[in-house]
Amino acid sequence: MHFSPDRPAFFVNPDYRPMAGANKAVIDPATLETVGAITAAGDGEIDATLTAATKAQATWKKLDAKSRARHLHAVANAIEAADFTRCAELMVREMGKPYPEAIGEIANCAPIFRYYAEMARDDAGKIAGTTQTGSFQYARYEPYGVSVHIMPYNFPILLMCWTVAASLAAGNACIIKPAEATTLSTLEYMTVFRSLPEGLVSCLPGGAATAQALISSDRTHAVAFTGSVAAGKAVAVACAERMKPCVIEAGGSDPLIISEHAPLEVAAAGSVTAAFHLTGQVCTSAERFFVVDAVHDRFVDLFADRTRALRIGNGMDKTEIGPLVSEAARAKVMRLVDDAIAHGAKAVTGGRIPPSHNTGWFYEPTILTGVTPDMAIVREECFGPVAAICRVKDFDEAIRLANDSPFGLGASVFTTDLAEAHEAAERLEAGMVWVNNPLIDNDALPFGGWKASGLGRELGRQGLDAFRRSKMVIIDHKPAIQDWWYPYPDSWFREAGGRKHV
């Protein structure tokens, strides 16, 4: 079956299969036109997917590391050779992402499959220094079985590849539960997995009920989730009830500090991307700005000038700022901005629906000044194109307020002072710290948050370990009776009142 956006389907490698449930229209957030239709998986489709994954994994886990790596390199080759124009256009029309960002995300996933192909080949266990002569003692890593990947809408392909590549490399089968808002583009992308063994990768559309069914199944064994804090907590609880390991990336409200030693032109340019990339719908978007008093006014002027130059519009046009993903997402942003203004903040830019874009879920990139740490926009995750700026007296106050949050995903600093850079890296309570270059990642370094922003890590060696379990092995190649085995010799006991005691 060839995939069509108008005919709901699920994917069990290498085939698309039709779905029988009630259709739900997919709406373009820029035009409010219908893009296609999706259907939530029913019990039969979930069962078929689990059956195929279980069968495939039984063979995949036995494959030697070199052969498994060859398969992952074949996926990377397919990514590099594919024409993703249609997939990127679907993503733009589903969730509003500007086309250059959509095609870039979709086309640039090959390196993560190559990284984990070789990582798994290189690191299969550890030989420990023996505790006993004649004994070979080591740890080996083995797959869990079938992993579930619950994906967000903002980077539906990239973040899926991060965890799927690691899980496959570890020897698992993978079931992907895409975000409802980006189901069509995720399904379209599944063709890159066709070189893998039958049933090893699946994509099963649906909402929270589908995710719950996959998590609760006895035939799944590990879970990767990216999404809101509330949903992340629910996933973590569901996994804990079943003693099922999980990796949770739950977003946050990232701080960005502008030091009095900041390179202001660079800081202003970097802050525009940090705050407004993907219309602020990035887990690591800079939402809370702490700007030292000495440079506050100059920074705001530069930041505002660059922000006003951003183009708002349909992601298929020449634009940086597309729509928010839904009406509800925009309503939350508007609530938080309006609340801040009501409590004394000032909108230097934005703060409104653009007059030229009344159709769709657009909102102007917004810079707020006069923000105080007690405002709701500082305490909650906004997840929209808003930079809330708090004026602070010095670097120390900036660090303190940056840490005054239930979240701890990432944190950014602009400074040319080496001592401040190192102090920020040490003192900021976040899983990632960027100095003078926000938002970038590295396949070889762990990605994830502290506090309410998540559990576990993606990428790097920790990202691989999240999908495999260790087994301690002790082999005595010269079998011998050990002196500590039962029964104990009499000399090990002491006499006491005519009775023997250990």
pLDDT digits (tens, 9 = 90+) for 452-483: 999 999 999 999 999 999 999 999 999 999 99
Helices and strands in the chain, H and E counts: 16, 24
Q: What is the pLDDT of residues 276-309, one digit of tens each?
A: 999 999 999 999 999 999 999 999 999 999 999 9
Q: Is 283 a catalytic residue?
A: yes
pLDDT in the model for residue 499: 55
Q: What span, in angstroms and rounded, lies between the C-alpha atoms of 428 and 424?
A: 6
Determine the average pLDDT of the residues in 143-167.
Answer: 98
Q: Is the dihedral of CA 441, 188, 52, 58 positive or negative?
A: negative
Q: What span, in angstroms and rounded, lies between the C-alpha atoms of 409 and 286?
A: 10
CA distances from 137 to 127, 133, 186, 201, 482 (A): 6, 10, 44, 35, 16
Q: Is 390 a catalytic residue?
A: no
Q: Which of 45, 249, 320, 420 is catalytic?
A: 249
- Please enumerate in sequence order all residues whose Cβ is within 8 A of that of 132, keeping only pairs 6 or more positions apart, or say none: 476
Q: What span, in angstroms and rounded, lies between the C-alpha atoms of 135 and 453?
A: 43
250 within 8 A of 348, measured Cβ to Cβ: no
Q: Which of 239, 283, 382, 390 is catalytic?
A: 283
pLDDT in the model for residue 496: 55
The average confidence (pLDDT) of the chain is 96
pTM given for the model? 0.96
411 within 8 A of 433, measured Cβ to Cβ: yes
Determine the average pLDDT of the residues in 140-159.
Answer: 98
Residue in 25, 23, 49 with CA at minimum distance from that of residue 35? 25
Strands 366-369 and 386-392: parallel
